[in-house]
Structure 1
Amino acid sequence: MRVLFAVSPGLDHLYPALGLASAFRTAGHDVVVATAGVTVDAAVRAGLTVRDVAPDADFSAVFPKKGNREERTRMMRQRGREITASGVTPEIILEKFGTINDMMAEGTLRFAETWRPDLVVYSRLQGTALLVARALGVPAVENGYSFLREGDLPARLLPHLAPTFERLGVPVELPSVTPLYFAPQHMMRGEGEGWPMRFVPYHGGCVLPDWLAEPKRRRRIVVTLGTIVPGVAGVGSLGSVLAAADGVDAELVLALGDEPDLEPLGTLPDNVRVVGWTPLSALLPTLDGIIHHGGAGTTLAAAHAGVPQLAMPYGADNWINAEIITDAGIGLDLQPEEVDSGVLNRLLDDEALRKTAGALAAELAAQPGPDAIVPRLADLVG
């Protein structure tokens, strides 16, 4: 069987799909990823065959940086509050991804017409998959990467794709769509029917540095803001968090990528270690706690590792994910200015949090993984 993975440009769209892509390959199926932008090289580094369907596209023009850092932060937070209140992807996001899909549609369709996939798996906003599946008469599988169940998402996305369908001569109709949810039903929010599948955390490979390969000398907390927040909001909000490190008998690892502007943070306490880009999957086995922005992938990866969490929501669906963390009893939900040494010590010492986090990790590990889902998806093809 041939399986085409249609993935939007962005690591947060690609990484959640890699467990399923690997499972298809292990089961003997052929897999190709149709994507563009930064996701091309990331998929190649993950060992996959890739078709760059829009090599000349400028995706930054779809999400331009407007205003100064304060204005961008305010806009990001406002949009996050809207998503929290509605529990659905806003129309403005669907509109923008309609543009992204239009930039990638012809390249994806032309390749698919040549390669002839039997099944199309797609990151949930990559509507080119709906177009390809409808054109070729094959099933589509929505690969979830958030805690939101949006059963009507393909139908809401279709009007934003209609001009592209018409331009390429494809009937403006949805194919058969099967959603995959990346967490158990009790952790999901919203409405919709789908199949739960165990999440397989992936954050890229690396050569372990000495400090990660050796036994740690004290407890360790990592502080990360994902890939989007540092570029939009900067890292200045972490000042109070890092200042609180002085009152904690632990090492705080500041993992903000390769080129963060740390000047707003001033002089850092001696127990703060600044590292360049380091995959979260390499850090998690060594951690006693994690502080993050509330990203869905980060939240679930930390839950799989059984690590107590402190979420500090910034935007998008971050507040929803932070609520899931507190509802599950595996962590805390605070803003950076509310964090002091007492909060950090609770993250390290609260046995109830640690016990609940360990129990949830065991539950997540028992969920059916991609290897169990592959035969069910093959049945869709017949």
Structure 2
Amino acid sequence: MIPLLWALRSAGHHVVVAMPKTMADVSAAAGVSAVSLGDDIPLAGLVADHAHRPPQDAGVQSLAEHVADYYGPLAERNVGRLFEIAERWQPDVVMHTSWEYAGPIVAARLGLPTIRHGWGLTLPPEVDELVHQRLAYLYRDWGLHGAPPPPVRWIDVCPRSMQVGKPPAESLPMSWIPFNGSAVLPDWLLRKPQGKRVAVTLGNVPIRGRHSQVLHTTLEALREIDTEVVVAAGWGLEHDADLPENVRVVRGVPLHDLLPTCDLSITHGGAGSLLAGVAHGLPQVVLPQMCVHFQHGDRLAAIGGGVSLHPAEQTVENIREAVCGLLSHSGARLVAARLQQENDDQLSPASVVKHLETVVAPRTEWAVV
């Protein structure tokens, strides 16, 4: 959301982000004022039997249950503090992401419009339907008659030929501009690679019981391929001490600086990583694990922009075959280039702000959750 928040600020609007402490710190570091909703709580702490839950699969029902089980309780935890902040600050608009259910409750209580900012494919309607069923008690507690009203606009950051489903409101197609923090870049990143370069990123949210295992399998698959491998590792991701000679592990290097130097991206299918690859025109090998990883990876594969391997398929042989195929054949590169152009052709954040001003003008105070 950061590029749109910058555009709002540059247009003279007052923007405040309300999130748990770590994400509030990220927002403040990016130049957008923030307030904390409280200490961080891992998603595992929201579900009593988290450690014993079966792995999520690629089905819509499995995705809906994941969202309802984890993000419903998160909304219950945050809604009181968020209401307290909003009542004191008196914003004119509440902007929130998919899977964020406290913001719409607070907006409904205060009679405010909401803007929903997507971060990938439009979710199947079964997801929100199940969450609304589970949160019916919370809506009643906050004086609502059913689920909160729908948003007045939907910010869609997915290229049109990749997007599926029906948006929850009139959509504004906005270019996905990757923002992955900032850093002092190492000198090697500024030099043109000698040959092919492959980026590996598995996100910052640990995959329960599999994060290091998936990385190990991936690096073994790349060991004998004549390419430079750069692992953009999250701070909590552990890796083997005995790395292949062609592998470099970096932490804190923004993907938006690394990916333009690469020929291929291997990712878990999280929206940030996958759409960053799309924005830079890269074919991708997607190794989905949870959440919407499956939907993102399978959709990219369906339109020819990469290969999606589900957990049972994530073997050394299959990953190696996928990487070699994408590096040597032009079909996926052509699709990736088309997706990049589609993304570039969508509205800029500044243009989206101008449109939103016609919807909510003369309001200027934005709360973001």
Instruction: Give me the TM-score of the superposition, normalised by structure 2.
Output: 0.86
1:291 equivalent to 2:269? Answer no
2:285 alignment partner, SS class: strand
Tell me the residue number matched to 1:372. 351
Of 23, 27, 32 in structure 1, the residue corresponding to residue 11 of structure 2 is 27
Tell me the residue number matched to 2:286. 311
What per-residue deviation string (whole Å, max 9, x for no partner) do you get for residues 294-350 of structure 1? 222211110110011111222222222112212232212233314354433322222
* Partners of 2:243 and 2:340 in 1: CA distance: 33
What per-residue deviation string (whole Å, max 9, x for no partner) do you get for residues 201-249 of structure 1? 1111111112212332232101121122455413223444322334322
Tell me the residue number matched to 1:268. 243
* Partners of 2:42 and 2:228 in 1: CA distance: 40
Where in structure 1 are there 5+ consecutive unaligned residues? Answer: 1-16
Q: Which moved more, 1:242-251 or 1:206-215?
A: 242-251
Matches of residues 36-47 of structure 1 in structure 2 within 5 Å? 36-47=20-31
1 or 2 for the larger relative contact order (CA 8 Å, sep ≥6)?
A: 2
Counterpart code for 1:321: H
Q: Which moved more, 1:155-164 or 1:332-341?
A: 155-164
Tell me the residue number matched to 1:108. 82
Where in structure 2 are there 5+ consecutive unaligned residues? Answer: 362-369
- Relative distance call for 1:64 and 1:358 in structure 2 (3 A) is farther
Of 100, 105, 118 in structure 2, the residue corresponding to residue 144 of structure 1 is 118
1:313 alignment partner, SS class: coil
Tell me the residue number matched to 1:355. 334
Tell me the residue number matched to 2:365. none
2:58 alignment partner, SS class: helix
Aligned CA RMSD, in angstroms, stands at 2.6
* Partners of 2:116 and 2:236 in 1: CA distance: 34
What percent identity do the matched residue pairs reach? 28
- Relative distance call for 1:323 and 1:259 in structure 2 (3 A) is closer
What per-residue deviation string (whole Å, max 9, x for no partner) do you get for residues 126-159 of structure 1? 2221122112212111111131244676665444
Matches of residues 159-308 of structure 1 in structure 2 within 5 Å? 159-169=133-143, 172=146, 174-177=148-151, 178-192=153-167, 193-195=169-171, 196-230=173-207, 232-263=209-240, 267-308=242-283
Counterpart code for 1:381: V
2:322 alignment partner, SS class: helix
Tell me the residue number matched to 2:67. 93
* Partners of 1:63 and 1:125 in 2: CA distance: 16
Contact 1:240 1:339 in 2 (8 A): no
Tell me the residue number matched to 2:295. 320
Query: How far 1:358 moved relative to its partner?
Result: 1.5
